Amino acid sequence: MKKIPIGIQSFKSLIEDNFVYLDKTDMIYNIANTKACYFLSRPRRFGKSLTLSTLKAYFNGEKKLFAGTKIESLEQKWDEYPVLYFDFNSENYKSVDNVISRITFTIARYEKTFGDSPAAKSISERFEALIHAIYEKTGKSVVILVDEYDKPLLQNILHPELQDQIRAELKAFYGVLKTCDEQIKMAFITGVTKFSKVSLFSDVNNLKDISNDLEYATLCGATEQEIHDYLDVFVQRMADFNQISKEDCYKELKSWYEGYHFCEDSVDIYNPFGLMKALDTKKFKDHWFESGTPTFLVELMRNYGMDLSELDNAECDGSDLAKIDNFEDSPIPLLYQSGYLTIKDYDQELDTYTLELPNKEVAKAFPKFLLNFNLPKTKQTPFKINNFIRDVRNGDCEGFMKRLSALLADSNYQIVGETELYFQNVFYLIFKLLGFYSEVERATSDGRMDAVVTTPQYIYIFEFKLDKSAQEALDQINSKDYALPYSVDGRKLFKIGVSFSSESRKVAEYLIA
């Protein structure tokens, strides 16, 4: 029986060690036989490295590794080509010297085989000289593969001066792709996002960005059909372990790990890491999120002063979706590219995308991470949303508000940005994590409700005021008839007016009716 691959990035290891392989080699064949410089943006742990490793094995002519795959019937020649593989995954880029060192290390390995140029000093000169040396020595064009090209830039996204220094080095390095175009058979570069001013997206003549291309939408990740074709036995095993039917297991896997779309007409795509880890451990958990936390991204959101309710139906212009050079204007594109939002809808006339949280894993783990990032730093027991859930389920509105007041009572912390937005965001995240149907800033025919939470037995209507009384908040609920849509509902309804103090940065008072 084949094994489930978790974090396996080598195509050779995948095949030789009897791991399951979701066959993408028909797309690999099309890419490999087109002279172009390809760019693919995908979230971390989505299979970018495996894609490059598969291309490397193909260009190395390792025909036996592809036995039984789709490419076996497509390829007849199996010609070998020299491959230069640059991997930016393994370094921590705290300075521009780290970037230069990483590139130099890779170039030096290939120079031992093909020879170096004494006249070449900079990394761009050495890169260009190496390509020419390989071409002259082998008589064949060179294949260039670059994994996670943007990691040095993403790691320093909050350090603009250092990022500019790194951009300058990378611009010269990637400029060689244009200079040596005649000696390059093809290039394939992966990353999370598109940074300008690094030559890739401005100077390279034949760049083909397939990040939002329908033809290659499923190149990384897994589809429903692929799970049935390659992983059905593991789904059955997981179903048996959890004492559910296989059909229900498929439904659960879908709700937890599917939901990604990288173009407007794409089929649903599963997060491959979360899916494989779930099938291996037989547990429905936020496996992908646990494998790495987006601290820099949260810092970016907080510095921007983002209203987190935008996560439910974020909008982004088509021209901005694939790049983040304007991330100071909005963190939405980077949230999409990093895998925390995905395409929900597209307005062709306005060229505008509507985005949403992709699945249960992200919808559960991301708000929890954001909340922990925003809560006071205390020595108390770590915050547990389960206590709030019990209060809401049991109709214990008083308990809920006392718990919330206690949560925000520690003033030994600094709220970054606008105080009112901070409280709105904390409430939004708590409601999001309750696991019930909740709305924030819900529009009505006469005014706006701040939040509504509903359970099978109860309805909660909240109104928040900053530096005003809780009675004013409660009066607004009544004067605006916020409860009218639920007048014949039958469930018990609570009206909660909450007052926050910008001076103490606490819940000043609350009233329940």
Report the topology of domain 375-512.
Answer: Trna Endonuclease; Chain: A, domain 1 (3.40.1350)
> 127's torsion region: left (phi>0), alpha (psi -120 to 50) or beta?
alpha
Which backbone phi and psi does 398 adopt, to 5 degrees? -60, -45
Structure tokens at 152: 């040095």
Pick from 123, 129, 197: nearest CA to 167: 197
Q: How confident is the model at residue 386 (pLDDT cuts 50, 70, 90)?
A: confident
Q: How confident is the model at residue 461 (pLDDT cuts 50, 70, 90)?
A: very high
Average pLDDT, the chain: 89
**Is 89's pLDDT higher than 60?**
yes
Q: Of the ranges 25-34, 161-170, 378-387, 481-490, which one carries the lowest mean pLDDT score?
A: 378-387
pLDDT at residue 18, as a whole number: 97
**Is 449's pLDDT higher than 90?**
no
Each domain of the chain, given as residue ranges in start order, spans 11-216, 224-290, 295-360, 375-512
Structure tokens at 329: 């204007």
Whether 244 contacts 235, CB under 8 Å: no
Whether 461 contacts 500, CB under 8 Å: no
Q: How confident is the model at residue 325 (pLDDT cuts 50, 70, 90)?
A: low
Q: Averaged over 420-434, what is the pLDDT?
A: 80
Q: Averaged over 435-446, what is the pLDDT?
A: 62
Give the pTM: 0.90
Q: What is the DSSP string of 27-48?
A: HHHHHHTS-SEEEEE--TTSSH
Domains 11-216 and 375-512 in one fold: no
pLDDT at residue 458, as a whole number: 92
Q: Tell me the one-letter amino acid at 169.
A: E
Q: Averaged over 338-343, what is the pLDDT?
A: 95
Architecture of domain 11-216: 3-Layer(aba) Sandwich (3.40)
pLDDT digits (tens, 9 = 90+) for 11-28: 999 999 999 999 999 999
Q: How confident is the model at residue 433 (pLDDT cuts 50, 70, 90)?
A: confident
CA dist list (Å): 444 to 143, 463, 477, 489: 59, 13, 11, 17
pLDDT at residue 379, as a whole number: 42
- Compute the half-sphere exposure of residue 252: CA atoms within 13 Å on the CB side of its CA: 19
**Is 284's pLDDT higher than 70?**
yes
**Is the Cα dihedral 18, 20, 23, 28 positive or negative?**
negative
Q: Averaged over 326-347, what is the pLDDT?
A: 88
